[in-house]
Amino acid sequence: MSSNGTNGSAVAQSKGTAIVTGSARGIGKAIAIRLAHDGYDVCVNDIPANKAGCEEVRSEIEKLGRKSTIAIADVSKLSEVTAMVETAVKDLGELNLMVANAGIAQVKSLLDLSEDDLRRMFEVNVFGVYNCYSAAAKQMIKQGKGGKILGAASIVAFKPFPLLSHYSASKWAVRGLTQAFAMEMAEYKITVNAYAPGIVGTAMWELIDSELAKKKKMQKGEVIKKYVEELTALGRTSVPEDVAKVVGFLGSPDSEFVTGQTIVVDGGIIFT
């Protein structure tokens, strides 16, 4: 499903192949576009329901003069993640950067959670990250040239939000996995880090705002506004590009001595 992009000018040499999961929209899309700007050829991934978005992102990447391919896969299923890595390598070349960005959220009080609620949250946000980290690491070890692995944490990986407790716990797990992988992958010259966004203007935060508003008997949009005004030092909602800039750094040679870290990019809510 790959094709060579061209914008009519000489195409700079690729900096390598990157996979960005959950990249049909939101933060993942911004990351995929940023990495293409930075010179990566990008494998765009999402679930079947978001295939049209994947096509749009691939088209944008190709307009930047970079190669792109699409791998539809559910990150909670290891076999599908392994196939995604194989597709990226076959279509674009050796894997240099994995961004395990895909995730889900749910607003629900702890005592109302069902077994399925808890299981699904961890299947996507924890098993999904593990699957991406492990499949990418095995491919990079096989290539023998090192690499970079990144995962999506959140500010709630440092301090949970009420009614986002199981989501928060899943993101704490991402921090732990990131640190553990960083230690075990160091001998292979593979760095492993995570990024922790704050309140971002995406479909996920619109859902969170909507559900929290119901629980708190507030109007839609008021919860995010209140959180931004009361919690964020820089006083504005984040945009996906804010996060993509940090991922750009973590995916570049400038971060070669950074590993095992979860970098907060939230406008000043959590101070580490």
- Residue 159's φ and ψ, nearest 5 degrees, are -150, 115
- What pLDDT does residue 267 have? 96
Q: Which residues of the chain have pLDDT under 50?
A: 2-10
Specify the pLDDT at position 149.
Answer: 99
Question: pTM score, two decimals?
Answer: 0.93
Catalytic site includes residue 171: yes
According to the model, what pLDDT value does residue 76 have? 98
d(Cα 96, Cα 75) in Å, to the nearest integer? 19
Q: Which of 167, 189, 215, 227 is catalytic?
A: 167
- Measured CA to CA, the distance from residue 125 to residue 270 in angstroms comes to 21
Q: What pLDDT is recorded for position 208? A: 79
Verify whether residue 167 is a known catalytic residue: yes
Distance between start and end Cα atoms, the chain? 42
Catalytic pick among 171, 216, 220, 245: 171
pLDDT in tens, 196-241: 999 888 777 787 778 888 877 888 878 788 888 899 999 998 999 9
Q: pLDDT tens digits for 59-74?
A: 999 999 999 999 999 9
> Which fold would CATH assign to domain 16-198+239-265?
Rossmann fold (3.40.50)
DSSP one-letter string for 38-82: TTEEEEEEE-GGGHHHHHHHHHHHHHTT--EEEEE--TT-HHHHH
pLDDT at 11: 61
- Per-residue confidence (pLDDT) for residue 8, from 0 to 100: 41
